[in-house]
């Protein structure tokens, strides 16, 4: 199982639920096989270290909580990207 956790740009509610299930399974796998790689991914995704620690120590289902953090971060990233989206600069077409 590879460790790529990329997500599509938009999700319907049904798709979001499926993604959450899939992410939870991936996180469970990485928790069991390569926790350091998983923690590194949270750093690269810019997910708060305190929230990750809390999910690992204080939740009955840490994999589900961590998957929820990933999905929430993805949604926040998309909101920020949309908020600051700029028109293409003319003359820089490739």
56 assigned to some structural domain: yes
25 assigned to some structural domain: yes
Q: Is 56 left (phi over 0), alpha (psi -120 to 50) or beta?
A: alpha
89 assigned to some structural domain: no
45-59 pLDDT per residue, tens? 999 999 999 999 999
What pTM value is reported for the model? 0.77
90 assigned to some structural domain: no
Range of the domain at 56: 13-83
68 assigned to some structural domain: yes
H or E element that contains 57: helix 49-58
What is the percent of the chain where pLDDT is above 70?
85
- How many domains are contained in the chain? 1
Residue 1, pLDDT above cutoff 50? no
Per-residue pLDDT band at 35 (split at 50, 70, 90): very high
């Amino acid at each position: 199982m590879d460790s790529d956790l990329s997500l599509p740009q938009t999700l319907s509610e049904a798709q979001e639920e499926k993604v959450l299930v899939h992410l939870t399974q991936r996180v469970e796998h990485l928790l069991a096989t390569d926790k350091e790689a998983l923690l590194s991914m949270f750093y690269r995704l810019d997910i708060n270290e305190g929230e990750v620690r809390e999910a690992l120590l204080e939740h009955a289902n840490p994999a589900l909580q961590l998957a929820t953090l990933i999905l929430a971060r993805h949604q926040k990233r998309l909101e920020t990207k949309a908020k600051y989206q700029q028109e293409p600069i003319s003359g820089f077409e490739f």
